[in-house]
Amino acid sequence: MRHRLATVLTAASLALGGVVASAAPATAAPADKPQVLSSWTQTSASSYNTWLSARNNQSAWAAYEFDWGTDYCSSSPDNPFGFPFELSCARHDFGYRNHKDLGIFDANKSRLDNAFYQDLLRVCDRYSGATATSCDGLAWTYYQAVVIFG
């Protein structure tokens, strides 16, 4: 009888533990995650600057569970001929990875690629003359690569 009672009590406590564990709320990213993500991946300089500020203070956005990982410009140079494209590539990776995580990538790919191109052109705006023309040409090449292969 003692053995049977112990078995019943053990089974009951395991079952109760399972109910309590499943009743605990799961941590989830805030409901406005898609809106925040969208605001950080627009074509404007202000969108880029807001994303960069958040990137530099990722801990403040931890609840959103964003994927901040990047391989920068993948197999292309991050700073071709000295043009600093690295952060533009990082924001592009951020957009791709997080839109894919939310299952909304296909509907946003074109905008993400356009934002990337605008970011690259803003880098090129720092230059003038033939240097600016060269930078613009590289920006166009990088943009076409993500449109076709991204």
Q: Is the pLDDT of residue 8 over 80?
A: no
- Residues 12-68: pLDDT tens digits? 444 444 433 444 445 788 999 999 999 999 999 999 999 999 999 999 999 999 999
> Could you confirm whether 92 is annotated as catalytic?
yes
* Integer angstrom CA distances of residue 52 from 49, 78, 116, 118: 5, 17, 14, 15
**Active-site residue identified among 89, 92, 113, 120:** 92
Identify which of 69, 60, 121 has the alpha carbon closest to the alpha carbon of residue 93. Answer: 69
Identify which of 84, 102, 134, 89 has the alpha carbon closest to the alpha carbon of residue 37. Answer: 102
pLDDT for residue 26: 57
pLDDT for residue 73: 96
pLDDT for residue 145: 96
Domains of the chain: 29-149 (1.20.90.10)
- DSSP string for 50-87: HHHHHHTTGGGGGGGT------TTTTS-SSGGG---HH
Q: Is the pLDDT of residue 118 over 70?
A: yes
